[in-house]
Structure 1
Amino acid sequence: MTDTLTRSTVDNGFRSVRSAYLAACRGAERGQAVEKAASCEAYADLWHAVSVLLYADEPGLALELCLRVEERTRQRAVLGLLRARIAHANGQPLVARDLARSVLDERALSLRTRHLALAELVAAEVGLEQYDVAAALLREHGFDGEVPDGPEAPYLLAARGALHVAAGRRRPGVEDYLECGRRLVDGGVRNPAVIPWRSRAALAALGDRRRELAKVLAEQELIEARGWGTSRAVGIALHAVASTRDGEEAVELLGESVDLLSLSTARAELLRAREDLAQIVRAGRDLTRQEAKIAWLARSGYSNKQISERLFLTRRTIEFHLSGVYRKLGLSGRHELRVALPDQFGDQSA
């Protein structure tokens, strides 16, 4: 078997799949794009076709396509990279890591394939909480500083941004996500299903106390995600929007995010949304108003003496209420309040 069918079939198919890919990058014509991509028969079209199916939250169809075209090509490295992307979309970081690592071990790789495999491997290591390994990979390949222009650059920036945020470096994480977005937009890519950079930047910005930036980014992404219409894209965007809201509105939006993500294969995103929802509901339900107010002040860095002066209560009363907070939330002490009480809890305690 050859890598292609006939020249005329490949040329006609490439134009069709290419147009589907460009439409998907703009966030348009999802149904038609999926139909064109799923009918791909030539290896020359495979990258664009699989990309369309992944953007449309159809990893099952993407895998079927890879298996169907696999017999027609000897390009095992690219097939391995595509399967790593599919595993990533399915929430399988271990599988994605092994596949991406196998691709990087190949000697005869194009620079683009090598860099895309590196981005997948770094993202998988971050998902597995192997932050030192991810950082070492970026240093080894020269991506701990400037990231040169190229079609693979947004993926490298997104992977590095995820590493920064996971390691607690929110400011450089935000900057990497924003630069990722700038390059995508410059290339005509508006669809957040390609990389949800606005949502990721918004969540990081909240941790960096840049709430207004987070609100703008999250709301922009929700508009684009609803235009594309997949459960994954809208669910991820709703999580970010909910994180910029307070009280019952935050709970309602997070609940909607969880419902939508449950319909997709976005396992990591679903877990994060569920955790945030559980924190808000648990904190708001279990604590009295006085406990909530004291807990929030303690979370914000106030000492017991400062809280007692602010609320006109004795220090012993503050200590009593904080003991109740720790007991109800299952905490061992003050240092765990920042994790237990999300940012949205502050306005509920006011």
Structure 2
Amino acid sequence: MSLLKYTSSGEKLTIKDIAAMAGVSAGTVDRVIHGRGEVAEETRQLILKIIEQTGFRRNMLASALVSKKKRKIAVMLPSPSRDLYFWKLPQRGIEKAYQEIAPFGVEITTYHFDYENRKDFVRQSRKVLKQSPDGVLLAPVIREEAQTFIESCAARKIPVVVIDTCIDHKNVLSYIGQKAFHSGRVAAHLMHWGMEGKLHFLVVHVGIAGMGYEQLKERAEGFKKYFAESFSEQVKISEISVEAHDQKKINAVLDGFLKKRNSLQGIFVTNSRVYRIASWAASRHMNDLRIAGYDLLEENIKYLKDGTIDFLISQLPEEQAYRGVLALFDYFMGRGKIEPVQYLPIDILIKENINFYKF
């Protein structure tokens, strides 16, 4: 029976109808729609083709619009501050996604936690669980507590999408962000570009009370691996960590480091606080020092434009959050399989192209 004949009566299609067209069980169709369980690829493609040709997916969305069933998404992000301004950026992506899906009865509530306070993360996560959301978008920067929270969500059958920091957990629906190790390799290639002879580079982690270091370490490993593969004899790499809050202390640590070394060609900062290192370099008139770091914060852009910072790698935080919200929405609507890992591009910004970049 042709699809056209089967749907020409104008009756509302059901999963059973799709199953009959494909010659499979309703359970198989359900698994394909929700991306659960094992289905032969040929069968999956057939079902998806039928769904597309019949407009079944559009009917699902229309039904959601008519029914006005409320779907609640809870977002857990660190509270933005001067040293954590980065966390203002994902909110733009959340707002953009909300504008697209609000007509379908979706509500989004953001819960901010203190990046330096594990207990506050636990308090906020309990608030989220008390509200029984239909899905959670999480930045798991406090890893141990985040894993416990994800397990609590799994026990309540609440899907979780994570952004910014990849966390290895079987109950995560999807990770959306960059591959940290490879972004470190990109930074190394940029740092090494056009340089010859004996070189010395410094990797700096500008952190807060040891939080979120797993991702920073992955970037550092990628950076070091690049040189270890081909340039181990010519390149020396040092690595230090400094606290983020006090510029004077950061200056003192870097001054002390340089006192013991004869030369330094470049500094790779493993997060968005590269402006702290740029401030030190500018105050010491270190114009020949190559500096690379992350993200389009206002202070970073200022130092990029004046030449103190040479390269910025954008993590696309708005895009991460935007895609994260839409991944949860697609899951609610049964719009096919949600990819468990969605790596974003590693965008490189320099003085010459920054004015053409949207931020």
- Relative contact order, higher structure (CA 8 A, sep 6+): 2
Q: Which has the larger radius of gyration?
A: 2
Length-normalised TM-score, structure 2: 0.35
Identify the structure with the greater helix proportion. Answer: 1
Length-normalised TM-score, structure 1: 0.36
Identify the structure with the greater strand proportion. Answer: 2
